[in-house]
């Protein structure tokens, strides 16, 4: 049975945006009073939140598939759809979020940090929001876009000031239990500790956290034993304490050889760029189990060699609590020095986000080859999103898409890329939307059954008012009088000719 997990792959699916609504308002004596379709609701996000009360990723190991709520559809009478419910996933402080390729997306090192791992889809606009002076009664609405769907990798790295390192059963769990209020599992068999244990130590005015991490053996940097599960949790610690077992009964083992193995594994582990290598960090040595007479004699024997190599050495006993006070104050001194050095470092440079100018970098045209010749692929957030929002069963919606693409400069970009009329154009990656490019048609409105800006269901009132009828009657009577006058002139002219 798995009791601790520090790396897991999550399969996330954000909520889909709701579709906009096509609706026409109806009132008494005014059956077609204009569009009133509401907008669709946005889909819910999947958000990772660093929680100090969460210590493991075990729940995500058993349930890696997580989905947020979908947005509601828009409705008539200008009623917008409900926004989808966002999903918050609590993760331990120190969780690193990566994409499947291994690129780090965010490092949740502070309690309360939030990261939107899967943004929800955008709700579609209803026909009321799409109406303009030229398009008074749109007969279409925009569809909602799907939410983000993919995988992220969560990797837990313990956040502590001090790491206790050593072979299995060296007494690390006993030491953290003696120094703090932590109560880890303690037994006399190897790999009793299967997951990091954290304890808080108070030494005078200093307070620091100690991590008891799984035991280390030779080859751990290559994955032997608990391998990387151990070394991953040492990365964030500023001070290393080597706990050496002076009472081991294993043949061929002694404190000096154990230390050499540990140092070799620490040197072989590559830390992330910008972090101090493990061997360059402050280190102390705790010779444990000196309450045993033979162990005390061995500790006195190797102490001189260890101090000659530049280490500060403390002889301790977690059972008799010998030397623990001196060790805790020595650790506190190193932790305080590290914190002081961090305070003197300049503040990190702020990241300035400058938005792109309008129309700059919205898309690009890529020429791909195929068995039937070259085709042109349009890649960009806006055109791809617009295609997803378009109902291709509605001619007016297709015309609106064509207008948007033309305003974005798609035709000019295709001309510059060398496209000719009839060339195959695809919008988006993969299969995408395929069409034959015809630059002579600036819009798909030519295929519509009604002019742009009108709708056969919402015809204007063409009945004449009283003043209009009176004005038209006067014009008709004036025209008749003019015709009678012309007829009288022609009759008189004909009579004069007959008289002559």
Does the annotation flag 194 for ligand binding?
yes
Quick one: CA dihedral 99, 101, 105, 106, positive or negative?
positive
Does the annotation flag 290 for ligand binding?
yes
Does the annotation flag 214 for ligand binding?
yes
Cα 430 versus chain centre, distance:
22
Cα distances from 481 to residues 462, 468, 494, in angstroms, run 28, 20, 20
How many C-beta atoms lie closer than 10 Å to residue 156's C-beta? 26
Q: Can you read off the two tokens belonging to residue 120?
A: 């929800």
Does the annotation flag 301 for ligand binding?
no
DSSP type of residue 282: -
Q: ∠160-163-167 over CA atoms, to 5°?
A: 150
Does the annotation flag 81 for ligand binding?
no
CB 283 within 8 A of CB 240: yes
3-state secondary structure of 223: coil
Give the whole-angstrom CA distance, residue 314 versus residue 326: 8
DSSP symbols for 370-393: ETTEEEEEEE-HHHHHHHHT--TT
Does the annotation flag 390 for ligand binding?
no
Does the annotation flag 170 for ligand binding?
yes
Does the annotation flag 95 for ligand binding?
no
Does the annotation flag 67 for ligand binding?
no
Does the annotation flag 193 for ligand binding?
yes
Does the annotation flag 168 for ligand binding?
yes
Does the annotation flag 4 for ligand binding?
no
3-state secondary structure of 168: coil
The answer for 31, left when phi > 0, alpha when psi is -120 to 50, beta otherwise, is alpha
Does the annotation flag 358 for ligand binding?
no
Does the annotation flag 192 for ligand binding?
yes
Does the annotation flag 167 for ligand binding?
yes
DSSP type of residue 11: E
Does the annotation flag 221 for ligand binding?
no
CB 243 within 8 A of CB 286: yes
CB 406 within 8 A of CB 442: yes
Does the annotation flag 145 for ligand binding?
no
Does the annotation flag 319 for ligand binding?
yes
Roughly how many angstroms between the first and final C-alpha of the chain, as a whole number? 131
Residues paired with 149 in a beta bridge = 13
Give the whole-angstrom CA distance, residue 382 versus residue 428: 10
Helices 172-179, 324-344: inter-axial angle, 10-degree rounding: 80
The residue whose two tokens read 């409705």 is 75
Give the whole-angstrom CA distance, residue 243 versus residue 42: 54
Does the annotation flag 432 for ligand binding?
no
User: Residues at the annotated binding site?
Assistant: 166-173, 191-195, 212-215, 288-291, 317-319
User: Residues at the annotated binding site for Mg(2+)?
Assistant: 173, 193
User: Residues at the annotated binding site for GTP?
Assistant: 166-173, 191-195, 212-215, 288-291, 317-319
């Amino acid at each position: 049975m798995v009791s601790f997990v520090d790396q897991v792959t999550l399969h996330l699916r954000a909520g889909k945006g709701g579709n906009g609504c096509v609706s026409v308002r109806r009132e008494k004596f005014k059956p077609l009073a204009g569009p009133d379709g509401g907008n669709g609701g946005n889909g819910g996000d999947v958000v990772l939140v660093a929680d100090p009360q969460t210590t493991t990723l075990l729940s995500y190991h058993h349930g890696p598939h997580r989905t947020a709520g979908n947005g509601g559809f828009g409705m008539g009478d200008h009623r917008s759809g409900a926004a989808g419910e966002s999903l918050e996933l609590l993760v331990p402080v120190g969780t690193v979020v990566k994409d499947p390729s291994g690129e780090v997306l965010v490092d949740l090192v502070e309690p309360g940090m939030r990261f939107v791992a899967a943004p929800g889809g955008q709700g579609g606009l209803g026909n009321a929001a799409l109406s303009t002076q030229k398009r008074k009664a749109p007969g279409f609405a925009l569809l909602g876009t799907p939410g983000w769907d993919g995988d992220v990798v969560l990797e837990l790295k313990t956040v502590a000031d001090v790491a206790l390192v050593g072979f299995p059963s060296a007494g690390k769990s006993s030491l953290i239990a003696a120094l703090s209020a932590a109560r880890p599992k303690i037994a006399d068999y190897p790999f009793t500790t299967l997951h990091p244990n954290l304890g808080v130590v108070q030494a005078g005015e200093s307070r620091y956290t100690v991590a008891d991490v799984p035991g280390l053996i030779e080859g751990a940097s290559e994955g032997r034993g608990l391998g990387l599960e151990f070394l991953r949790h040492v990365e964030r610690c500023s001070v290393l304490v080597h706990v050496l077992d002076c009472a081991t009964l294993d043949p061929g083992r002694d404190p000096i050889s154990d230390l050499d193995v540990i140092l070799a594994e620490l040197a072989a582990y590559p830390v992330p760029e910008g972090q101090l290598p493990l061997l360059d960090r402050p280190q102390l040595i705790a010779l444990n189990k000196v309450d045993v007479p033979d162990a005390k004699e061995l500790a006195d024997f190797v102490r001189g060699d260890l101090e000659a190599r530049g280490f500060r050495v403390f002889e301790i006993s977690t059972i008799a609590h010998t030397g623990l006070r001196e060790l805790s104050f020595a650790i506190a001194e190193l932790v305080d020095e590290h914190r002081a050095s961090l305070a003197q470092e300049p503040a990190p440079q702020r990241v300035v986000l400058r938005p792109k100018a309008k129309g700059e970098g919205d898309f690009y045209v890529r020429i791909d080859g195929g068995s039937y010749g070259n085709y042109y692929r349009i890649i960009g957030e806006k055109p791809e999103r617009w295609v997803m929002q378009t109902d291709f069963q509605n001619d007016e919606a297709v015309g609106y898409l064509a207008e948007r693409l033309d305003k974005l400069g798609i035709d000019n970009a295709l001309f510059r890329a060398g496209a000719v009329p009839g060339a195959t154009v695809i919008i988006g990656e993969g299969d995408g939307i395929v069409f034959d490019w015809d630059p002579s048609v600036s819009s798909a409105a030519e295929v519509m059954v009604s002019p742009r800006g009108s709708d056969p269901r919402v015809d204007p009132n063409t009945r004449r008012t009283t003043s209009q009828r009176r004005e038209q009657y006067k014009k008709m009577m004036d025209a008749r009088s003019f015709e009678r006058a012309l007829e009288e002139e022609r009759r008189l002219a004909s009579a004069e000719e007959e008289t002559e």
